[in-house]
Amino acid sequence: MIPFLPLNRINERFEPELSEAISRVVKSGWYLRGQETEKFESEFAAFCEAKNCVGVANGLDALTLIFAAYKILGKLSDGDRVIVPANTYIASIMAITKNNLTPVFVEPNEDTFNLDAISKDAKAILSVNLYGRQANLPKNDLLLIEDCAQSAGIKPKGDAAAFSFYPSKNLGALGDGGAVVSNNDELCEIIRALGNYGSKKKYINDYLGFNSRLDEIQAAVLRVKLKRLNEDNKKRNEIALRYIAEIKNPNIILPKPSSEHVWHLFVIRCKQRDALQKRLTESGVETMIHYPIPPHLQKPYKHLNCELPITEMLANEVLSLPLHQAMSEEEIERILINPCLA
């Protein structure tokens, strides 16, 4: 079977540096809010061409803390409307509703899977770079928060961006991790405090905070892997372009390339998606569906009674093929000659 995403093979390529980095932290005796996190934050901010990076515990927290900090700054208030693409991963929506904000589900553009035009009345936009493709939004005066959980490697354009280092993401830790990236110093200072029980100064708590910190081991691991992120994303792009050039099955709609794309996932569309998935599995190609049930049809949001036919159609048609930086030439060729795709 060609595995969808063999994380052991991806991470083996970083040995022995990964083990050395972990061992360095173990020996240091300092496991949270230390040098590794500080260094990773400045390296990742520079990589993103942004002023600040704040490490947090995961991608959902990165998003949640951005909204919470904008509320503390008075830029958002309870009930404010936030535009969000309806076909996103449910974490994007949870970050909005957990802050008592109102999600305005918008249908994506079918060709890019992203938001494009914004016409609805709202205070903020949560743009999602779904599958690794950066959304190309017209600049307006709404707050622009960018969900970059799937697009590590792309320069964020929003007022604040949230990253996830969940192991399967383009820049994956060996556990959970996340970060907020922004040029807004005040916002980042509040987010840093919020993630540490609302405290800026030891034993003084200014806000009703959270515990959300990137730990030293994950930061040390991410520093090793960050050095090769551009190279790894380039490899993903090469494979994606080969798939696009060589997959010829007329029943398949291929994703569109873009210069701002890091191919977190290679997502095709097919009206007979379930049959195609079954045949691919039988012929030794593991695939996945991102995502089979959109957020508005999940229990926490069902009562909103949203009608989103494009999002529902996409959920029934999308299928993700294996695509990652550790794929062998043989695996790529076996996928390309598979009779379901060729």
State which residue, 159 or 335, has the beta carbon closest to ligand PLP: 159
Residue in 11, 37, 87, 92 binding ligand PLP, rule: CB under 6 A: 92
**Distance between CA atoms of residues 316 and 274, nearest Å:** 8
Work out whether 166 is an interface residue with ligand PLP (CB under 6 A). yes
**Distance between CA atoms of residues 193 and 196, nearest Å:** 5
φ and ψ at 128, to 5 degrees?
-115, 125
Give the contact letters, 175-204, x = binds to ligand PLP (CB under 6 A), - = no. Answer: -x-x--------------------------
Give the contact letters, 115-154, x = binds to ligand PLP (CB under 6 A), - = no. Answer: -------------x------------------x-xx----
Residues 6 or more apart whose Cβ sits within 8 Å of residue 28: 34, 35, 216
Residue, CB closest to ligand PLP: 59
**Distance between CA atoms of residues 259 and 116, nearest Å:** 16
Work out whether 58 is an interface residue with ligand PLP (CB under 6 A). yes
Work out whether 170 is an interface residue with ligand PLP (CB under 6 A). no
Write the secondary structure of 84-141 as one string of H (helix), E (strand) and C (coil): EECCCCHHHHHHHHCCCCEEEEECCCCCCCCCCCCCCCCCEEEEECHHHECCCCCCCC
Residue in 89, 243, 266, 301 binding ligand PLP, rule: CB under 6 A: 89
Residues 6 or more apart whose Cβ sits within 8 Å of residue 101: 67, 76, 78, 79, 80, 81, 82, 124
State which residue, 169 or 192, has the beta carbon closest to ligand PLP: 169
CB of 80: closest distance to ligand PLP in angstroms? 20
Specify the stretch interacting with ligand PLP by CB under 6 A; choose among 53-61, 271-279, 306-314, 330-338: 53-61
CB of 147: closest distance to ligand PLP in angstroms? 5
Give the binding-site size for ligand PLP (rule: CB under 6 A). Answer: 15
**Distance between CA atoms of residues 163 and 191, nearest Å:** 14
Residue in 91, 124, 262, 268 binding ligand PLP, rule: CB under 6 A: 91
Q: Do the beta carbons of residue 326 and residue 10 sit within 8 Å?
A: yes
Contact residues for ligand PLP, defined by CB under 6 A: 58-60, 88-89, 91-92, 128, 147, 149-150, 164, 166, 176, 178
